Structure 1
Amino acid sequence: MQRFALIGAGFIGSVHAQNLASHPDVDFRLVYDIDVQRASALAAQHGAKAAASLDDIFNNDQLDAVFIASSTDSHAQNLRLAADAGLAALVEKPIDLDLETAKSTVAYVERSGIKAMVNFNRRFDSAHAELRDLVRQGSIGSLALLQLTSRGPALPPVDYLKSSGGQFRDQAVHFYDLATWIAGVDPVQIHAFGSALAAPEIAEFGDVDTSISSLLFPDGALAQIDCVRHTGYGYDERIEALGSEGLAESERQRSGHVTLVRKEHARSHGLHGNWFDRVKPTYAASLSAFVKALEEDLDSPITLREGLKSQAIAQAAVRSLSSGHSEAIDYSL
């Protein structure tokens, strides 16, 4: 049994708490949040205890791992504390919104030797993983073009957007990670376009809600990622991989799979109403992969350095949006 503590009792923390409590190989022990009442309520719900402070977690020889799902600006600090304590760490993205801070944190954690993973959970979507396997096995020949789509049904609250790092760092970064993971090589250049169409007011702090990112891989293969914060038809996520000998597609998923046909009319299900309903199973799957790595002493399923790569791509996208030109991607640590 891997003895876990959870840091963060907000929405995503509550998702992780449910998965920690239900995992057969996890002993879910502690929850910490700056909101003590919220931590206590979540802990009680899942048979854990509320930690009075971070010291209760990081000065505790009865723990094996920590799940960091606290506010973005605390991820780097908590990773460093985990490294000092010798606790394995699973952390929500990003490591830190500031790329240089993220780099120094990764170097610090790597020196400690702890097992650490960035929770790019979409890698654990079964359809995306099957597409990736087909591409990497050569089933479609040489990869020529990846098309990735992420379109959300509703704009997040403006207060969230102000602290999110912007669409490229918050939303598109998941798909930069997927593109690199599927292709098996790192893109070298990016050209990004973006507009604030659904919410023009977010342009005041430099954000966009509709964007396209074009990636160039070393062998000339391309990827295009379109991201939209607000649609009128539901949550739409899909990937298409075009190769020299065929096509693989991880299709958009509907909220149901039965179509009723009566004479000339047909009634079928639409798309999921929100992003979480679409990707919920991937959170449990990513936790299971991390727990397996701990139990069997395997390499981290997604290393901090891989998380940095996706963040470096997002940073180059931000530069491209500002400059209006293609930008080289710097992966130096």
Structure 2
Amino acid sequence: MIERIDVAVFGAGRIGTIHAGNLARHAGARLRYVADVNAAAAHTLAERHGARTSSVEEALVDPAVGAVMICSSTDTHADLILRAAAAGKAIFCEKPVDLEVERARACAAAVRKAGVTCMIGFQRRFDPTFAALKQRLDAGEIGVPEMLVITSRDPAPPPHSYIAQSGGVFKDMLIHDFDIFRWILGGEAVSVHATGGCPGLPDIAAAGDLSHTAVTLRTNTGALCQINTSRRAAYGYDQRFEVLGSHGLLQAGNVRPTQVIAWSEQAISSDKPEAFFLERYRDAYALEIQHFLDALSSGTPVRTTIEDGIKALELAELATQSWREGRALSVEA
């Protein structure tokens, strides 16, 4: 058992700031280094938590560092995983592992060879509402799950510059939904059929991507999943799903800033959903970092492994191919 672990955070942007704050609140961990190509951002974050700025190289050669958190841009993830594994450091990495499946598989092989822990940041599994639904589903409350319907909509599309380097909507946005599909239904996909378009958002179409998608998956147990996504929902960040089972239905709804509902002669109203992912998954981000650090301390496995990251990426790759070819695809065993 490890009494305290020193951690280096790579990436001082939005998600790095969130993870560093949650790490700093954990009694069994200490933020030792922050590394970022933006030196000012790294300095600000390090100073906030009593840490030091460093290069990636300096952090990886320091024997006091037991783990790294990779919160930098997607194109750096695979390289940092490989370097951290070679240095014998435990790894927490934001999704995706990489945009290329073969590169992600190479990372998994390196992690296995090094024998280090590697957790991928699928925070939705740690959302209290989603986790409660999963627990009740596993307890048999609605019998055998037969259909999962996932709704996942962003409040507004990202900038054109982001779209162009994101890897496409299936790898950038739906990768979380593919992970939810595997987690909730507890099986693997045998077929994927994806379609999409850009109604009212020609800039996204010009970038070769989609703003709206509809994906249907079938599992090896015969259960079905439908995923509908949009990069624009005027009413807020829409994150919900429902599971239809042989004996009933379980629903996990949106989170709102408050649960106050106003009743009047004119209407019944409530708050819109939370503004975006940092607010919606505030608790989930804290709980996933707590889980990662607790797992390192106790020597127990993490819940979201690099293999989970690869499985979700494989589905995203197949969905992209299905959309481009306009047909359903079988998933190779």
Instruction: Name 1:37's counterpart in structure 2.
Output: 40
Q: 1:103 aligns with which of 83, 94, 105?
A: 105
**Contact map agreement 1:123 1:129 (CA 8 A) in 2:** yes
Counterparts of 1:251-262 in structure 2, within 5 Å, are 251-262=253-264
SS in 2 for 1:188: strand
Contact 2:187 2:221 in 1 (8 A): no
SS at match of 2:30: strand
Deviation at 1:2, TM superposition (A): 1.5
1:49 partnered with 2:48 = no
1:209-235 Cα offsets, whole Å, 9 max, x none, are 100110101121100011110011111
Structure 2 counterparts to residues 61-80 of structure 1, below 5 A: 61-80=63-82
What is residue 2 of structure 1 aligned with on the other side?
5
State how far apart, in whole Å, the 1-side matches of 2:92 and 2:62 are.
17
Letter in 2 for 1:34: V
Q: Does 1:275 align with 2:284?
A: no
Residue number among 96, 114, 117 corresponding to 1:115 in the alignment: 117
* Count of residue correspondences: 330
The residue type paired with residue 16 of structure 1 is H
2:191 aligned with 1:213: no
What's 1:179 paired with? 181
Give the alignment's TM-score, normalised by structure 1. Answer: 0.96
Distance in 2 of aligned mates of 1:275 and 1:6:
20
CA shift, 1:290, in A, is: 0.6
Match of 1:162 in 2: 164
Q: Percent identity?
A: 36
Determine if contact 1:136/1:184 at 8 Å carries over to the other structure. no
Q: 1:225 to 1:36 in 2, by over 3 A?
A: same
Residue by residue, what CA displacement relative to the aligned partner does 1:214-257 show, whole Å, maximum 9, x if unpaired? 01011211000111100111111101000011100111222211
- Cα RMSD, aligned residues only: 1.3
- 2:291 pairs, out of 285, 289, 292, with 289
Q: 2-side partners of 1:292 and 1:223: how far apart? A: 33
SS class of match (2:45): helix
Matched, 1:22 2:28: no
- Whole-angstrom distance in 2 between the partners of 1:320 and 1:265: 44
Asked whether the 8 Å contact 2:152–2:238 carries over to 1, the reply is yes
Query: How big is the shift at 1:264?
Result: 4.9
CA distance in 2, matches of 1:192, 1:67: 33
What's the offset of the Cα at 1:70?
1.0
Distance of 1:258 and 1:204 partners within structure 2: 42
**Residue number in structure 2 paired with 1:227:** 229
Is the contact made by 1:135 and 1:183 (CA closer than 8 Å) also made in structure 2?
no
Which shows bigger deviation, 290-299 or 200-209?
A: 200-209
> TM-score, length-normalised on structure 2?
0.96
Task: Quote how far apart the aligned CAs of 1:263 are.
Answer: 4.3
1:281 CA displacement: 1.4
The one-letter amino acid of 1:165's match is G
